[in-house]
Structure 1
Amino acid sequence: MNEPTTTAPAHLGYCPDCEYLGDHPEIEPGLDPGQARLTSAVVATVVFLTAIAPLATDMYVPAFPRVAAELGGSATQVQLTLTTFFVGMALGQLVGGPVSDQRGRRRPLLAAVLVMTLASIACALTPTIGVMMAARFVQGFAGGWAMVIGRAVVVDLATGARLVRVLNVIAGVGGIAPIVGPLLGAVILQLSDWRVSFWVVASLGVLMTGCVLAAVPETLPPARRHGGGLRAFARAGRQVLRNRRYVGYLVVCGSAMGALFAYVATSAFVLQSMNGLSPVAYSVDFAANACGMTVAALVAARLAGRVATRSVILVGQVAALAAGAAMLIGALWFDTPLPVVVASFFVLMTAQGLIGGNAGALASAEVPDHPGTGSALLGFVQWVAAGTIAPLAGLGGEQTAVPMAVLMIAGAAVSLLGLLVLARR
């Protein structure tokens, strides 16, 4: 029997967290009447899936002081609920993609959304800080699983320029959700209890389940599934990690993420407990910083092809290092004055807009033979860094910002090391 011949499709481009756009041939309209199509309802559902994780985190951050008081936990224990969520997110994205490649998209996606909804209910009813940590881990794992499958659905159904447009729309949520989340959380705190924020997330999970049932078909038929799973992923991962420059950009992204989440985990205590801001004022400041990061990312996109990408990253790293130094000086000798805190946080967040996307793109370019694996490892390292740094930033409790400032400096410095030494030309 003759072996079937296959023709490798032309590569049409690359998108972070996705495969090469040419890995799935373009499906011509009318070729298969039963073939799933990328409709506006599918896109809206994937946007919804992408937004739920930052909303689940950012609505909750303004309530940290109240959670600590009600559950009898320390600042570090409350920040550990961020750690467990981020670790869950990292593992969910790392595992969810290979499993859906084997089992299909629709059923694993529905299971993930339902588990996330149940975990949100457990967070709302939690009697202790320990139960909260466990529930947040499950919530993060299921949320990460749902996010990675949502992106896979889009890659299944679109190629070329259309895929680029759709993924840009989805990526835009990354800049909007961190703005809306803390503001919504502050409104909830003003009108009700912090537990209501988790009931809101659970309600969104129920709505999301309905959206998946109504709008998302099975986009990976049995003929296109494969049995490689986690074993094949591990083999490709070993190959990717042998690339020194890729590892350098991995360090750039992970360290920058660590510096960012030193801020996210501790800013509520610094601004509210130490400087007397209300939850609403804190949330406005948080949203303004998120706007700075979004604008910086848009500027970085405009500079692509005009200014060397490594130079843009370097500017962001130097700015982040300066913000950490200013924060440390203010914390050690000036009792953490509000103007220094606000300015340092804004510069740090804005700098992330110059670092994250650019470093991720350069990392992906270093491993063109394994783009999906490279992207999965990148996301895994970033979320693990976020989860590791969050509790460390709160070691000083609610009365000092020194640990947070030290971690901001360390993150920026290690990121610089990754760029200038490991990822050197």
Structure 2
Amino acid sequence: MTDKKGSAAPRLGFVPDCEYLGDWPAVEPGGDRSRAGLTSALVATVVFLTAIAPLATDMYVPAFPRVARDLSATATQVQLTLTTFFVGMALGQLIGGPVSDQRGRRRPLIAAVLVMALASVVCALGGTITIMMAARFVQGFAGGWAMVIGRAVIVDLATGAHLVKVLNVSAGVGGIAPVVGPLLGAVILQLSHWRVSFWVVAALGLAMTLAVLLAVPESLPPERRHSGGLRAFAVAGRQVLGQRRYVGYLLVSGSAMGALFAYVATSAFVLQSMNGLSPIAYSVDFAANAGGMTLAALVAARLAGRVATRKVILVGQVMALAAGVAMLIGAVWFRTPLLLAVVCFFVLMTAQGLVGPNGGALASAEVPDHPGTGSAVLGFVQWVAAGTIAPIAGLGGEHTAVPMALLMIGGAAGSMIGLLVLARPGARGQIGQRRLAP
């Protein structure tokens, strides 16, 4: 994208935790957009939008055994409701950003949160697992669409260091949701029915709509929109996927995400159905594991510039692999004792805090000419991996952890192959481009 004089607009570079950024954001020379419309209310609204995915998932996970019983569904069928949600979310993020570049931000964002609220109502009322799967797909698609446009609004209104600061603050505050979500879901289960969690998400969707109406302006006026859309995105996508080291780091992050969601999809059955934990106790453990992942990510951030990022990733991969092997031994020979499961889950989640963010950062560093496309493809692969793994983890039913343990091992091993083989130092892709040192 160029300005009216034809000069190229400066590129933004990689921004953590943002699924879509225009590869060539329009920046007016000498302008400070962050002062024009980036208010505290707007930032809070974007954080609100970012929290919907973990809330819509983590509030629901503690109820898996009850959902299976109430809807006469198998463990795999219940886990497919995660798959459809994650696939919808991946597609929503992949498509929503480019479309909003063409048509503006505000109206598509309002439509997305309303559709998400409506899909949540269908989830709350659905009487069959098939209806639940379909509604969860729509819920995920609309939620992903809303998330990516919300962050694009921030990109429209802020630049440089201020942009990075705001996005990191948003990500940090949004990290509370994975801790609060399961606890809130467990309280709902304790006091009421699992369907109430979807009514809560629907109410949050309406609250988000009101917040957008009051706090989010149209941040992309017609003169700054472009017609490239999905076609331009597809061309850039082919270019980034031609980079071998980028694909390697894509495998690092995608495989790690798959191992993580083998845990998310199956842990309720392992800890509740097999070991007798109550929904409250399970949710406390889930929240503690999310806290371990957050703490590891903060430690990794402190180590940046002091310890090679690839070494930090490798430590996390070894931890995840060890957790998977221990889980498999416990599942095959010792009937998955509670203490072993709790420790393995904590180690796996903590490892993800070392692998996921760093793998994503190095992936985007490999495609400096297409930071937005690189981040979008990365987010798509991660969420598709999460959705694909979820039902596979439940193939053994509610009373075995063997499939989950094998997926944990496979995810850790695949992640290591991405790091040590495809993304090894000196590996070259199809297109020679400047690369940033890890």
Pairwise TM-score range, normalised by the shorter structure: over 0.9
> Which residue in the other structure is 1:348 paired with?
348
8 Å contact 1:36–1:218 — kept in the other structure?
Answer: no
Letter in 2 for 1:301: A
Deviation sequence 1:241-266 (CA, Å, 0-9, x none): 00000000000000000000000000
- Return the letter of the residue paired with 1:105: R
User: Residue 7 of structure 1: CA displacement?
Assistant: 2.9
Aligned-residue Cα RMSD (Å) equals 1.8
| Cα separation, partners in 2 of 1:13 and 1:378, compared to 1, 3 Å | closer
Once residues 291 and 187 of structure 2 are traced to their aligned partners in structure 1, the CA distance between those partners, rounded to angstroms, is 19
- Alignment-derived partner of residue 229 in structure 2: 229
Q: Secondary structure at the match of 1:217?
A: coil
CA displacement at 1:10 relative to structure 2: 4.1
In the TM superposition, residue 23 of structure 1 has moved relative to its aligned partner by 3.5
1:284 aligns with 2:265: no
In structure 2, the partner of 1:250 is 250
Change (3 A) 1:114 1:311: same
The equivalent of 2:25 in structure 1 is 23
Say if 1:110 and 1:209, in contact at 8 Å, map to a contact too: yes
Contact 2:104 / 2:219 at 8 angstroms: preserved in 1? yes
Q: How far did 1:53 drift?
A: 1.0
Partner of 1:398, secondary structure, is coil
SS of 1:23's partner is: coil
The 1:125/1:230 distance shift into structure 2, 3 A limit, reads same
Q: Which residue of 1 aligns with 2:168?
A: 168
1:21 CA drift (Å) = 9.5
Evaluate the alpha carbon distance shift between residue 139 and residue 4 of structure 1 in structure 2; reply closer, same or farther with a 3 A threshold: closer
CA contact (8 A) 2:23 2:373 kept: no
Distance in 1 separating the partners of 2:134 and 2:96: 19
Q: Residues 15-38 of structure 1, C-alpha deviation per residue, up to 9 Å, x if partnerless?
A: 033548983426767999xx9510
The two structures have a TM-score, normalised by structure 2, of 0.93
CA distance, structure 2, for counterparts of residue 181 and residue 318 of structure 1:
29
Identity score, percent: 79
Query: Deviations along 1:151-170, whole A, 9 cap, x unmatched?
Result: 10000000012111110111
1:103-130 CA-to-partner distances (Å, cap 9, x unmatched) read: 0000000000000000000000011000
1:10 and 1:236 map into 2 onto residues whose CA distance is 18
CA contact (8 A) 2:63 2:189 kept: yes
Q: Contact 1:86–1:384 at 8 Å: present in 2 too?
A: yes
Tell me which residue corresponds to 2:91. Answer: 91
Question: 1:408 corresponds to which residue?
Answer: 408
Contact 2:97 2:149 in 1 (8 A): yes
Q: What corresponds to 1:60 in structure 2?
A: 60
1:97/1:149 contact within 8 Å kept: yes
- Separation of aligned partners in 2, 1:78 and 1:171: 29
Is the alpha carbon distance of 1:403 and 1:299 closer, same or farther for their aligned partners in structure 2, counting shifts above 3 Å?
same
Q: How many residue pairs end up in the alignment?
A: 421
Structure 2 residue identity aligned to 1:25 = V
Change (3 A) 1:232 1:344: same
Q: How does 1:177-188 map to 2 (within 5 A)?
A: 177-188=177-188
CA distance in 1, matches of 2:166, 2:256: 27
Change (3 A) 1:173 1:391: farther
Q: Report if the CA contact (8 A) 2:313-2:354 is conserved.
A: yes
Which blocks of at least 5 consecutive residues in structure 1 are unaligned?
none
Instruction: Specify the alignment match of 1:217 in structure 2.
Output: 217
Which residue number in structure 2 is paired with residue 375 of structure 1?
Answer: 375
1:417 aligned counterpart, secondary structure: helix
List alignment gaps of at least 5 residues for structure 2.
426-438
- State the Cα distance separating 1:171 from its structure 2 match: 1.1
Between the aligned partners of 1:354 and 1:348, the Cα distance in structure 2 is 10
Q: Report the secondary structure of 2:276's partner residue.
A: coil
Is contact 1:297-1:357 (8 Å) kept?
Answer: yes
Distance across 2 between alignment mates of 1:330 and 1:169? 40
Q: Which amino acid aligns with 1:23?
A: P
Look up the match of 2:431: none
Q: 1:4 to 1:164 in 2, by over 3 A?
A: closer
Distance 1:174 1:31 in 2: 23
Partner of 1:48: 48
Q: Are residues 1:336 and 2:336 paired?
A: yes
Letter in 1 for 2:238: R
Asked whether the 8 Å contact 1:294–1:353 carries over to 2, the reply is yes
Verify the 8 A CA contact 1:21 1:159 in the aligned structure 2: no
Alpha-carbon shift at residue 177 of structure 1 (Å) = 0.9
CA distance in 2, matches of 1:12, 1:120: 35
Map of 1:116-135 to 2, 5 A cutoff? 116-135=116-135
* Contact kept? 1:330, 1:336, Cα under 8 Å: yes
